[in-house]
Structure 1
Amino acid sequence: MKDFYPALIGGIAAGLCVWGVQSLDTSYWAAAVAAAAGSFLGVVIGQKLISR
């Protein structure tokens, strides 16, 4: 179950990034880039929090 948490945090971060970008009426490409960046950063943050 511990391995699940970084992915959960990454998914939430990706969702928040896409929600924020789409609220600015940007293109789908910008939303895709925001999702990729948000999921990457969310997983990295999740791994740092879990590894403590």
Structure 2
Amino acid sequence: MDEQKHKILLADDDMFAREMLSVVLEDKGYVAKDAEDGKPRLKNTLPIPP
């Protein structure tokens, strides 16, 4: 059975910082998604309450 990886959302306006953090986190086994602005990404990421 495959182990489910934890997902992390990186939101920062500094592209270099996002890319570097993504590399470090992915090397540690996380799935890193990045966004320049967190609000649009959060809208599509968080579950919608019933």
TM-score scaled by structure 2?
Answer: 0.40
Structure of greater relative contact order (alpha carbons < 8 Å, 6+ residues apart): 1
TM-score (norm. length: structure 1): 0.39
- Larger fraction in helix: 1
